[in-house]
Amino acid sequence: MIQAAAVRAGFLGSYHAGLMTSTKTFSMDDLVALCKRRGFIYPASEIYGGLNGFWDYGPLGTELKNNIRDAWWHDMVRCPPIGPDGEPISIVGLDSSIIQNPRVWEASGHVDGFNDPMVDCRETKSRYRADHLMVLGGEDTGERRLYAYLAGDDEGRDRAVKLLGKYEKVSAEEADWTDRPLVDLPAAALERVVGPDTKEPGSLTEPRQFNLMFKTFVGALQSEDSAAYLRPETAQGIFLNFNNVVDTMRVKVPFGIAQVGKAFRNEVTPRNYIFRSREFEQMEIEWFCHESEAATWFDFWCETRRKWWESMGLTSDSVQMRRHDADELAHYAKEGCGTFDVEYRFPFTSPDFGELEGVAHRGNYDLSRHMEFSKKKLEYFDQPRNERYLPHVIEPSAGLSRGTLAILCEAFTPDEARASKVYMKFQPRVAPIKAAVFPLVNKDGMPEIAGKLYETLRQRWPIQYDAKQSIGKRYARMDEAGCPWCFTVDSDTVNDQAVTVRDRDSLSQDRLAIDQVENWLADRLK
């Protein structure tokens, strides 16, 4: 949802924080370095110094993200889940334009309602989300200074503690220290707040609302008349095409329309790697149903979506469902019905959780607003009920970029016993490289046999051929890439027509007849 109450959820820490699950501990810095080193994720326009909030996916990151997207499309659109009544449900796909008529965003409520409170620092010209700032100071608001830091930023809080000791002569042991959200301070206290990057108080402005939509101009005339917006969610393209889909696809309520695509938000403080960026991808379903059945479908989608993330390899103790508090609800959420988030324990939120997907009951807010603003009828005639109505909508809205980050975090497995010290334990379904083929050495017919095997396998899957450096280094590279199996052609292959299969997770090495390799792999990648 629109990221309110992020402070309470505690997921705004810098990505230096370590992840501690029952099985592993690692620093986000190590994951970010691996992602760069192995071609998963690069900073956008890096050679020009980057651009805050924008990221590029490298060759392996692109494959990984596409695999997650394709798995979602397969499991939600092509072979959608079985509904609560035991019957298969129906979902169709869509790919709508990123730029739509600007009236769309007035109707959807984004022009008026898609705001975050922001605070500027007059001294450093930095800009912060007001609801991401905490202040540290004495319990009594008296005359003392208060020191601001970004929620979850341990280094920032340490700095505040140090400054309190230095300037306010308050020792770290003093009991009356309080951390509280900046937005809870009375307005008069703001002049005593020292900004996160300043030494003197009074540089922070009062919070003011900031619209998150990116504005652009359509056509040659750059005037307000030609202003338009990059979509902040893929959902609206679905509502706009509701009639088109009903008229052309012979679908009957209840049914869903799904879309995967880019969304853009001018986030005040993009943070935590690709978790909160300004350009990202969403995978959204708008599920249209009769009002009387909306509660059942809401429960169904909450359960289905949680299970889906678990089926993608996120362990159940790293995933939780959380109901939104009343003050977090988006402008479209139906009163009294609420929204659940599927949350994942990211390294920078641990031991708390951060949002991966929102499942919202949007009521008939969007269809009724578009009907009002466009003056076009969007009602549905339900033949079996003999009733004309605006369907209610349950919306499972997942972040593809965030999902990719969660799967990267889950896969990152430190292992001191390996040459690489770490391997990426991707499920084969999402692994960017499914298998690698190596000739042990570059002579004695081995490259020819390995090359032939590679040619065969790559017709069906993303396969890597590597003949450079020692076999140990090649295994290490594949461990970091998260490649589940390596096939090595060695000097025995010529005689026994078999290769060695090395398993990424168990490190077992077994012999397999070369003419069995394709079927063996197909079995495991089913």
| Chain positions contacting ligand GAP, by CB under 6 A | 1-2, 233, 235, 265, 267, 276-277, 280, 282, 284, 355-358, 395, 397, 399, 401-402
Q: Which is nearer to ligand GAP, 58 or 358 (CB)?
A: 358
The Cα–Cα gap between 393 and 486 comes to: 46
Q: At what angle do helices 28-37 and 400-411 cross, to 10 degrees?
A: 100
Q: Which is nearer to ligand GAP, 1 or 98 (CB)?
A: 1
Smallest separation (angstroms) from ligand GAP to the CB of 77? 17
Q: Which is nearer to ligand GAP, 67 or 420 (CB)?
A: 67
Smallest separation (angstroms) from ligand GAP to the CB of 356? 6
Q: Which is nearer to ligand GAP, 280 or 300 (CB)?
A: 280
Smallest separation (angstroms) from ligand GAP to the CB of 208? 20
Smallest separation (angstroms) from ligand GAP to the CB of 354? 9
Among residues 284, 229, 266, 282, the alpha carbon closest in space to that of 111 is found at: 229
Helices (H), 326-392: 365-374
Smallest separation (angstroms) from ligand GAP to the CB of 1? 4
Q: Which is nearer to ligand GAP, 237 or 432 (CB)?
A: 237
CB 471 within 8 A of CB 488: yes
HEC string of 231-244 equals: CCCCHHHHHHCHHH
Helices (H), 74-132: 103-107, 110-113
H or E element: which one contains 34? helix 28-37
Q: Provide the residue count of the chain.
A: 526
Q: Which is nearer to ligand GAP, 13 or 358 (CB)?
A: 358
The Cα–Cα gap between 509 and 503 comes to: 7
Q: Which is nearer to ligand GAP, 282 or 420 (CB)?
A: 282
Smallest separation (angstroms) from ligand GAP to the CB of 29? 20
Smallest separation (angstroms) from ligand GAP to the CB of 262? 11
Smallest separation (angstroms) from ligand GAP to the CB of 400? 8
Alpha-carbon dihedral of residues 61, 64, 66, 72, nearest 10 degrees?
Answer: -140
The Cα–Cα gap between 328 and 339 comes to: 9
Q: Buried b / exposed e across 126-136, counting CB within 10 Å, b at 16+? A: bebbbbbbbbb
Locate 87 and state its tokens. Answer: 């019957």
Closest-by-Cβ residue to ligand GAP is 399
Q: Which is nearer to ligand GAP, 166 or 323 (CB)?
A: 323
